[in-house]
């Protein structure tokens, strides 16, 4: 089992953020949970809030004492969190170097606290999906707090989320090996070269050569699933000559038929090389593209005729400011000629 240390750093930062939010909420009377602030409502009337607090079975001090006794840790923050049918004290404690989120029903005193450790979570996940366990990670600040266990079984990778309060299975997701459109189709091509998976067969012609003009829709991903570019999100296919893009695109798109969709897996040597293209493309990055060939062998666009520039008759009193042009997501990565 491997528990990632950077996860602990993330949890610590989340704890700090929640503590800051708690202080702000105490001053303004806001009771919305972090990341879910309700801007449609005015802060509660102090008199009304005072009366409501008086109806609670536990006051804040008693709730914190209960949380400390249950966790053996120290309280970092307390907030009142209201939902449609209940009011909770949300108490963040530091226990054995980890933040723990304790919820106590303010009107009944019922406490919800993570009870499962990593070993119990692995047992529960393995009962759900018998197989070989990989990584084990925790999200004890979630609602409900969970353990996330990766299990490899039947040639697939499962991510099993286990409720850390009662041990029930929250979800069982089958993770795709490659980002983008999911598929069970076989991968083709040679390792070290462009590899591809046919997502949808095409019925049209293939581009006549590597100097053909083509029109494609695409989305590009890093191997960790991060999407760095997408013509689909920009709402318009792109057009380019096949010999003026990265080599992996030239080799991967040229054999496609119009209407065909492919997942292209392009090694760094046929993409942006050892240097990459920071900050979008890291060094030595294997790239994954979902590509649809929309059209091919179109006439190249006519060169734009420059407009004559009028000679100003008077000196402007101020230097005009250029209107900024929006940069598309990822900077439209494929069209430039990449390093080899």
Q: Where in the sequence numbering do the catalytic residues fall?
A: 218, 228-229, 246, 272, 289
Contact in structure between 216 and 244 (CB atoms under 8 Å): no
Residue 279 gets the label, from left (phi > 0), alpha (psi -120 to 50) or beta, of alpha
Whole-number Å distance between alpha carbons of 63 and 90: 9
Alpha helices in 72-117 (DSSP H): none
Whole-number Å distance between alpha carbons of 253 and 202: 12
Residue 305 C-alpha from the chain's centroid: 44
Contact in structure between 161 and 185 (CB atoms under 8 Å): no
Contact in structure between 64 and 121 (CB atoms under 8 Å): no
Whole-number Å distance between alpha carbons of 251 and 189: 11
Whole-number Å distance between alpha carbons of 85 and 244: 61
Whole-number Å distance between alpha carbons of 91 and 124: 27
Residue 141 C-alpha from the chain's centroid: 18
Whole-number Å distance between alpha carbons of 114 and 149: 16
């Amino acid at each position: 089992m491997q528990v990632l240390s950077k996860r602990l750093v993330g949890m610590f930062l989340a704890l700090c953020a929640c503590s800051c939010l708690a202080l702000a909420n105490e001053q303004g009377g806001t009771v919305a949970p972090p990341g879910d602030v309700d801007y449609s409502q005015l802060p509660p009337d102090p008199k009304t809030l005072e009366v409501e607090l008086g109806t609670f079975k536990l006051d804040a001090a008693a709730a914190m004492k209960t949380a400390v006794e249950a966790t053996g840790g120290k309280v970092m923050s307390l907030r009142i969190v209201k939902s449609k049918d209940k009011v909770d004290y949300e108490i963040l404690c530091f226990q054995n170097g980890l933040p723990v989120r304790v919820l106590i029903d303010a009107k009944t005193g019922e406490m919800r606290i993570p009870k499962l450790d990593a070993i119990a979570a692995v047992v529960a996940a393995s009962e759900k999906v018998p197989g070989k366990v990989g990584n084990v990670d925790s999200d004890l600040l979630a609602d409900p707090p969970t353990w996330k266990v990766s299990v490899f079984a039947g040639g697939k990778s499962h991510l099993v989320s286990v409720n850390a309060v009662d041990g029930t299975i929250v979800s069982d997701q089958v993770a795709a090996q490659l980002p983008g459109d999911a598929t069970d189709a076989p991968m083709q091509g040679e390792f070290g070269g462009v590899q591809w998976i046919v997502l949808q067969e095409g019925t049209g012609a293939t581009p006549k050569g590597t100097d053909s003009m083509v029109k494609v829709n695409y989305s590009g991903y890093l191997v960790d699933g991060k999407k760095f570019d997408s013509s689909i999100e920009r709402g318009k296919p792109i057009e380019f000559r096949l010999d003026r893009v990265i080599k992996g695109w030239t080799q991967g798109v040229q054999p496609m038929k119009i209407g065909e969709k492919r997942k292209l897996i392009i090694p760094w040597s046929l993409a942006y090389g050892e240097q990459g293209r920071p900050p979008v493309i890291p060094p030595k990055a294997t790239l994954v593209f979902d590509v649809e060939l929309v059209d091919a062998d179109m006439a190249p666009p006519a060169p734009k005729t420059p407009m004559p520039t009028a000679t100003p008759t008077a000196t402007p009193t101020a230097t005009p400011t250029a209107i900024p042009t929006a940069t598309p997501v990822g900077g439209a990565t494929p069209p430039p000629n990449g390093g080899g």
